[in-house]
Structure 1
Amino acid sequence: MENDIVVPECVICGFKLSNSAMVPSKLQRHLVTNHPSLSTKEKSYFESYLSSKLKQGKNFKKQLCVSEKAQVASYEIAELIAVKLKPHNLAEEIILPACRKIVKTMIGGSADIEISKIPLSNDTIHRRIKDLSENIEQNTAKTLANSNFAIQIDETTDITGNSQLIAFVRFIDENDIINQFLCCRELSDFTTDGAPAMTGHIKGFVAHVKELNENILVTHCVLHQEALVTKFLPSDLKIVLEQCVKMVNYIKSRPLKTLEERIVHYFPKLDIKKFDWVRNPFLITDTSVFDLTLNEEEELILLSSNRDLIVKHSEESINSFWINIRCEYPIIAKKALYILLQFSTSYLCEFGFSALANIKTKKDQDC
C-alpha cells in the first residue's frame, strides 16, 4: 500500500506490479521469467507462502514493540532509583529478580522471560540517569533564561577524595515557586572549603558573580552561620542544654563585647517588620517602614484596598498569590517574589551530598 492506495506485488520477490500487469498472461510471464523453479507449483503453495510471510512480519513487529517497551521501562526504573537516591545496581540485583518472581507467580507462562528483556544492568542505569539528568538540566536552563531565580550551591570532598560541586535552583513554575536540582559536577581544579571561599568579598565565589551582576542578592545559610558562631563561643557554652544555669552565670560574670561582635558579624540585625507586607499586604498601616520606592508604595496601597484579593489571599499560598497578581500589580509583585525566591538554608545541598556519599559508599562495597 502506497499513499493509501493498494499496489499489487509479487508474493515471492516483492516486485510491485502495475494494474495492467495483472492479466493472467503477464502474471505467468513474470513467474516463468523471474521464478522458473516455482512455475509448476500449485496455487495452495503460494497461499501458504503468503500466510507464512505475513506471520513473520507480525512476529517482527511484536518483537520490536516489546523492545521499545523494555527501553521505556528501563528509563522509568532508572528515574525511580534516582528519585529515591538508591545505588544503581539495585535494579539488576533486587528489582529485576523481584519483578520476575512476581509475574511468574501471578501471571505465569513466559511473562518472566519478557520481563528479563528489560536492560537494567548497573552501567545501563548509570547511562539512563545521566541522560535524564542532562535532559532536566537543559529544560531547566531554558526556563531560567526567561525567569528570575535563586541558586544554591555548595562544594564537598567525597570518599574518593574528589571535589564535588552541587547546585539547586528555585524559580517560578506556573503558579508556584519550586526547588529543582540543577547539576552535580566533579571539579578537576584545586578547591578550598569554608565560608571565605564562598562569601569572600575579594576572591570568594560571590565576588566573582557580582563582577557579572552587581545587583544580585546574596544570603548566607542560617545553619552555617550558627556553626560559625559556635566556633567563637567558650567551651562551656557549647553544652547549653546540660549546663544551662552555668552558661547564664558565665555570661553574667564576664564581659561579652567580643562575643556580641561575633554574633552581630554572622547574624546582622534584621528588622523582619520590613517584610510584613509580603506575608499579608492587607494589614499594613504605615508603608514608610517597608523600605519601598515611591512606585512600590503606591502599588501596595492600591493592592491593600482591593477587597476581591482579600479572599484570594486567604485561599492561596503566599507564593501563588503574588505570582497570580504579577500582571495587575507588576512592580510590587516583582519585589515580593524577589524576596520569596531566596533560599534560607543550604539543606538541599547537604541532602544531595548525603545521597552522593551513600551511593559511592555502596558502590565501593560492591567492588
Structure 2
Amino acid sequence: MAKTVLGSDAEKKLKQVPLSNDIIHSRISDMSRDILQQVITDMKASPVKVSIQVDESTDVSFCSQLLVFVRSEVALRGRVLTRVFELHEEIKQFLRNQDSDIADHFENREFILSLAYLADVFKHLNELNISIQGTGMNMITAREKLSAFTQKLPIWIKRIEKGNVANFPSLDEAAGADEELPILTEMKDHLQELIKSFQGYFHHGEVSVEQRWIRDPFLFNLDSMDDSDIMKDDLVELQANDRIRMEFESMQLDMFWCEQLKLFPQLAERALEVLVPFATTYLCEAGFSALLHIKTKARNRLDASDDMRVALSKKESRFSIIIEEKQQQKSH
C-alpha cells in the first residue's frame, strides 16, 4: 500500500521501522497459543499413551519455571582433564611461579599417569553420553549403546592385565617407552568398580523378544515368537512387503512405526509404547539453556512461557489460521 500511494522510497523506509514491543509480544502469544492447541489436539488423538517429561528450573530472577515436554506417538569434564594433561608442564610452571605446593604433584610420575588415565576414561564416558543425547534417541537405542559400553570394559581390563593400554591414548603417550606402569592395578580396580556402577544404574538384562522385532522387524526370527501371539501374523505380512522394507532402511525407527499405524495398528501401537518414553534428560537441559538465553538479567520481568513454547516446540505456528482470526484495520 505504501509503495502504491507514496512510492518505493517510502516502502523501504517503512520496512525499516521496528515493530513495538507490544506488537511483538502479541504475535508471540498468538503463535504460542496456536502451538499449544496443536499439542493438545495431538495428545487427544494419539492412538498410544503419551510420554511426559517435567523439569523445574530457576531463572535469573529466582522464579521457578516448569518445563513440560510431551511426546505423542555440555561443558564436558573429560575435555577439561584432557586439557589439563596436555598443558601439565605449563600448569606446573604457573604453580611454581605462584609458590603453590600443588606444583609438587605435577613432578610426581604416578600423578601424571593417573591424570592421563582419568582424561581417557572421561573422554570415553563423554562420547557415550553424547551418543545417547539428541531428540531422536529412544529407549532401545540408548539401551544398546549402554550395553555395548559395559561389554567393552572387561575387554579393556584383560588388555591392561597384559600391559596393553591401547584404549587409553593419553596414558600411552605419558608412559612413553616404559615397559611397566605403576598404576595398572589401580586402573584394573577402577574399571571393575565402573562396571559395578553401570550395572547398578543401568540394568540391561536380556533383550526381550518384543524389543528385537521392534528394533528390526525384517531381521527378526519369527521362530522365537510364541505362535499364540496374534501379532505374529502381522509380522509375517510386514516382512513380506518390500516397499515397507525400503521405508524402514531410510527412516528413523519411531517415524517408521508411526507410518505403520494404518496398515499394522497393533504392531505400531505396541512398538510406540516402547519407543515413546523419553530416554534421556536432553530436552530438559536444552530447554533450560533456551530459558537462560531468552530470560536474561536485562529481561528478568519477562513471562517467558510463550517465548519458550515457540522456541522449543517442533510444531510450527499455523499463520493462515492466526491471520483469519484477526480483524483487518481499514483506513478511515
TM class, shorter-length? 0.3 to 0.5
Higher relative contact order (CA closer than 8 Å, sequence separation 6+)? 2
TM-score (norm 1): 0.44
Query: For the pair shown, which has the larger CA radius of gyration, 1 or 2?
Result: 1
TM-score (norm 2): 0.48
